[in-house]
Structure 1
Amino acid sequence: MRIITLSSGSAGNCTYLESDKSKILIDVGLTGKMAVNLMAMANIKANEIDAIFVTHEHIDHIKGVGVLSRKYDIPIYANAKTWLAMQAKIGKIASKNINVFKSNTFFSFRDLDIRNVSTFHDAADPVFFVFYQKQQKISILTDTGIVSSPIIDAVRDSNILILESNHDEKRLMEGPYPQSLKYRIRGEYGHLSNDMALEIVDELAQAKGEKIILGHLSSTNNSKEIVYSGMETLLVNKGIKIGDDLDLEVSEEFKLGKLIDLGGDYS
């Protein structure tokens, strides 16, 4: 499998994943035009996308879902409550492209085995996805206020982990947002802070060549430099060498991330 973040942040999220027989998007929280342009920059053809998988109905995850589905005849996969919550936002979708999965289950799509796991977020029925193909595992964990033991267990031993590191607590609480929004973001149905991301990586890092991508950063309450520096310090203190023992990246809004390739036949 291989994967690239097309955009990751509070204003828009979209990730591309490719396996031997599948080309999919996880969320499209950008305009359709922007998503297509970013894909083109990564040499990805929009008309070859096989499916869009939706985590939840917030606009920074579904903004372009309907447009791309209608223009390129792309099937959409979401759970029942998410479909109900996003229908009015994404517009009319061809019935053949409406696919519903049950929350907290495993299912298959082409050559991918997919697990969806509930998150703690203020949406109808939010989930994150874990993708398996052969001996490879990719987890994309964002949009959760807390991380439970089942979530940790679901992402453990991932070859690639995309992990939310949304906000710096000090910046958030001293920043311009109204108090109600601050407490929503830092609440148990909000977003993971930098400190929480550090705790998760501290538990999960194995230094076996895994790839960690930190994402869904707030442009107001965080920065790429803060996130990378904090994680670098943690890993150094654990005796883990970035680049040798594992790879570390920080993704950004509306900007292509690094293509990470675990190997496969993409012909």
Structure 2
Amino acid sequence: MHFSVLASGSTGNAIYVESGEHAFLVDAGLSGKQMETLFQGIDRKMDKLSGIFVTHEHSDHIKGVGIIARKYNLPIYANEKTWKAMEPLIGTIPVEQKFQFDMETVKTFGDVSIESFGVSHDAAEPMFYVFHQGEKKLVLITDTGYVSDRMKGIIRNADSYVFESNHDVQMLRMGRYPWNIKRRILSDVGHVSNEDAAIAMSEVIGDRTKHIYLAHLSMDNNIKDLARMSVSQTLEQRGVDLTDQLGLYDTDPKKPTNLMAI
């Protein structure tokens, strides 16, 4: 498998995953034109995609879903509640392109199996995905207020993680957001902080884990260097040795990460 975090942040999210037989897009929270540019950045084309997997209906995850699916005749996969919440926002989708992917189930596409699991976020029925190819395992988990023991069991000991590290708590508390927004972000259905993300990481990464991508950083309440420093310090305090074999990587709201092989 190869993957790239095409864009990550409150302005739009999209992740590309490919295997030997298929190529997938998880969310498309940017315009069709922006998505085309992001694909050019990794030397890939959207007409080679096998489908789009939706995590939840918030606009920073579905802005381009409808236009891309219609243009390239792509199937869209989402659970029933997400479909109901999303349909008024993405325009008409032909029935033959609409597929239901229930939470905590597995779908197999050739050489890849995709496992869905629920997260805690203020959406209809938010869920993220684990990609399995043989013994290889890629976990995508953002947009959750906390990481439960159930989630940890599903995502444990992956080769690579795209893991939410949304905010620095002090920056958020002291920042310009109104209190109701701060309270929502800090809640169990909001977003995980740098420190909470690192604590969860320390409990799930295993001997095969090689890559951790820090994702969905707040533009107002976080900084890449701060997120990396906070996460690395917390991991090291909890006995995780960050070496050349286990690396932390940045993501960006406007440019894709290099294609990473698992």
Distance 2:130 2:143 in 1: 14
Matches within 5 A, 1:138-149: 138-149=138-149
Q: Would you say 1:111 and 2:111 are equivalent positions? A: yes
- Identify the residue that residue 265 of structure 1 maps to in structure 2: none
Superposed displacement of residue 219, structure 1: 0.3
Q: Deviations over 1:22-44 (max 9, x none)?
A: 10000000011101111011101
Letter of the structure 1 residue corresponding to residue 201 of structure 2: V
Matches within 5 A, 1:175-194: 175-194=175-194
1:104 to 1:208, Cα distance in 2 relative to 1, 3 A = closer
Q: Give identity over the alignment, percent.
A: 39
Matches within 5 A, 1:177-216: 177-216=177-216
Superposed displacement of residue 235, structure 1: 4.1
For the 8 Å contact 2:157–2:207, the answer to whether it is kept is no
Superposed displacement of residue 104, structure 1: 1.5
Superposed displacement of residue 207, structure 1: 4.9
Letter of the structure 1 residue corresponding to residue 17 of structure 2: L
- Identify the residue that residue 94 of structure 2 maps to in structure 1: 94
Of 196-205 and 210-219, more deviation after overlay is shown by 196-205
Aligned-partner SS, 2:27: strand
Matches within 5 A, 1:62-73: 62-73=62-73
Unaligned runs of 5+ in 2: none
Distance 1:239 1:155 in 2: 17
Matches within 5 A, 1:1-267: 1-237=1-237, 238=239, 240-243=241-244, 245-262=245-262
Aligned-partner SS, 1:36: helix
Superposed displacement of residue 122, structure 1: 0.5
TM-score (norm 1): 0.94
Letter of the structure 1 residue corresponding to residue 242 of structure 2: K
Superposed displacement of residue 60, structure 1: 0.3
For the 8 Å contact 2:27–2:53, the answer to whether it is kept is yes
Superposed displacement of residue 242, structure 1: 2.8
Of 246-255 and 81-90, more deviation after overlay is shown by 246-255
Distance 2:168 2:209 in 1: 27
Superposed displacement of residue 236, structure 1: 4.2
1:220 to 1:95, Cα distance in 2 relative to 1, 3 A = same
For the 8 Å contact 1:5–1:15, the answer to whether it is kept is yes
Distance 2:235 2:102 in 1: 37
Of 103-112 and 1-10, more deviation after overlay is shown by 103-112
Aligned-partner SS, 1:89: helix
Superposed displacement of residue 250, structure 1: 1.6
Structure 1 residue runs of 4+, over 6 Å off? Answer: none
Q: Deviations over 1:108-157 (max 9, x none)?
A: 22322111111110000000101101111101001110111110011101
Distance 1:110 1:31 in 2: 29
For the 8 Å contact 2:157–2:208, the answer to whether it is kept is no
Of 119-128 and 108-117, more deviation after overlay is shown by 108-117
Unaligned runs of 5+ in 1: 263-267
